[in-house]
């Protein structure tokens, strides 16, 4: 492997892409960027090439929106759908403590307007409105393996910030993500149908899910693959919607661990969200050693999306897309200043099973709600200000271990 330097130019897209391609032809190496701001349009990484950002380096997206393609979870990879993308590569990544800036404000108002006036449905009739208007992502790795991201700050993403789709053997560490809390659909890290992913020492404040695990929607021509073996440790979440699994879980999510994570002012803490049109097996989820401060809803596991009904309905036939949520363990969690302690709502035809709360202490205005859910509790301490600590609705059961 060799070290390469990028020289100083005012228009950097072609130069940077040529440097990446040349580094790959030479057998790969570390492509080091000098400490300045690089104005770029979409670029693609190559196998065995590591982009290294010096501390005072900024890769800033061009203001020319026509140079980008729009991205959506159900669409296959298209060139230019992220500022930095990677397609079918290996042994590559982004290193160093510089910044990547997507100039997302150029896109956010359009997305807000589409949501306000409902015109997204006419522009993209096949897409769920809840997913938001398709926009470019900031960084994407698609069908790639042995990827390392360590050190950089990702900020002001048009939509998702770091998308891992059908990736494997991914290591993410010492990553900072900053998007305004009002920036729509700006998930921090989206792990989509990817496997063997390790995320550690990340600091994420954003406008949507801080980290979310997904595996796809029905009706789109992309690979069918579960998200599995995903481990998040030693993370810090500021503004955002918390740690989520879903809502797009068509191909299943399993063997996920979340350990030693702090939440400060997020909308949700731990959230599993799925639905009858997008579910599968969601299991072997282990959450441990969590602290939450001023999180609106500490725990939320629901088999309805985007909202669960006010009243329990009749059971429907079980289909290939019926969610099956089971074997969830949450232990060593302390939440202070929450509005709602927890919501556990399964389907009449597919209740939540084998959910265990162990050594959980929550101070909240409202207590736990259970419907079509079996929850086991060991050393559960609920300190509730208003109303009862436990609302067991139809087929909601809380059993002490």
Residue-averaged pLDDT of the chain: 96
Q: Which of 370, 367, 366, 365 is nearest to 392 (CA)?
A: 370
Residue among 208, 281, 296, 372 flagged as catalytic? 208
Distance from chain centroid for Cα 86: 18
pTM of the full structure: 0.97
Known catalytic residue: 200?
A: no
- φ, ψ at 210 (rounded to 5°): -70, -50
Confidence (pLDDT) at 121: 87
Mean pLDDT, range 263-273, rounded to an integer: 98
Summarised one tens digit per residue, pLDDT across range 286-324 is 999 999 999 999 999 999 999 999 999 999 999 999 999
Summarised one tens digit per residue, pLDDT across range 208-245 is 999 999 999 999 989 999 999 999 999 999 999 999 99
pLDDT score of 5 more than 80 = no
Residue among 241, 281, 326, 372 flagged as catalytic? 241
Known catalytic residue: 208?
A: yes
Residue pair 208/241 in contact by the 8 Å Cβ criterion: yes
Decide: helix, strand or coil at residue 75: coil
Residue % of the chain over a pLDDT of 90: 93
CA distance 90 to 4: 19
- DSSP state at residue 227: E
pLDDT band at 401 (very low <50, low <70, confident <90, very high): confident
Distance from chain centroid for Cα 32: 28
């Amino acid at each position: 492997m060799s070290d390469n330097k990028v020289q100083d130019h005012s228009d950097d897209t072609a130069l940077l892409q040529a440097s990446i391609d040349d580094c790959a032809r030479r057998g790969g190496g570390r492509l080091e960027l000098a400490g300045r701001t690089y104005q770029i349009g979409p670029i693609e990484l190559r196998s065995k090439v590591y982009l290294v950002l010096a501390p005072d380096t900024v890769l800033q997206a061009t203001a020319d929106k026509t140079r980008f393609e729009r991205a959506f979870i159900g669409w296959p990879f298209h060139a230019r759908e992220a500022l930095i993308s990677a397609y079918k590569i290996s042994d590559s990544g982004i290193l160093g403590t510089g910044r990547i800036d997507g100039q997302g404000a150029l896109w956010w108002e359009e997305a807000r307007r589409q949501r306000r006036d409902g015109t997204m449905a006419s522009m993209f009739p096949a897409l769920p409105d809840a997913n938001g208007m398709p926009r470019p992502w900031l960084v994407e790795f698609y069908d790639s393996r042995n990827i390392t991201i360590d050190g950089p700050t990702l900020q002001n993403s048009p939509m998702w910030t770091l998308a891992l789709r059908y990736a494997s053997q991914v290591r993410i560490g010492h990553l900072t993500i900053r998007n305004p809390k009002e920036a729509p659909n700006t998930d921090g890290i989206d792990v989509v149908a990817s496997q063997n992913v390790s995320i550690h020492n990340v600091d994420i404040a954003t406008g949507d899910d801080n980290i979310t695990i997904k595996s796809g929607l029905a009706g789109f021509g992309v690979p069918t693959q579960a998200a599995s073996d995903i481990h998040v440790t030693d993370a810090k979440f500021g503004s955002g919607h918390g740690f989520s699994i879903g809502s797009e879980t068509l191909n299943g999510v399993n063997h996920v661990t979340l350990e030693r994570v702090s939440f400060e002012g997020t909308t949700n803490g731990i959230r599993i969200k799925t639905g009858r049109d997008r579910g599968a097996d969601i299991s072997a989820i282990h959450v441990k050693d969590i602290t939450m401060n001023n999180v609106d809803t500490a725990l939320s596991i629901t088999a309805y999306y985007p909202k669960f009904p006010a009243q329990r309905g009749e059971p429907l036939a079980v289909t290939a897309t019926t969610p099956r949520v089971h074997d969830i363990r949450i232990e060593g969690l302390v939440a202070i200043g929450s509005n709602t302690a927890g919501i556990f709502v399964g389907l009449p035809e597919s209740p939540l099973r084998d959910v265990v709360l162990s050594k959980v202490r929550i101070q909240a205005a409202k207590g736990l709600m259970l419907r079509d859910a079996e929850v086991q509790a060991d050393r559960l301490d609920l300190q509730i200000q208003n109303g009862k600590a436990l609302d067991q609705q139809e087929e909601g059961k809380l059993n002490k271990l």
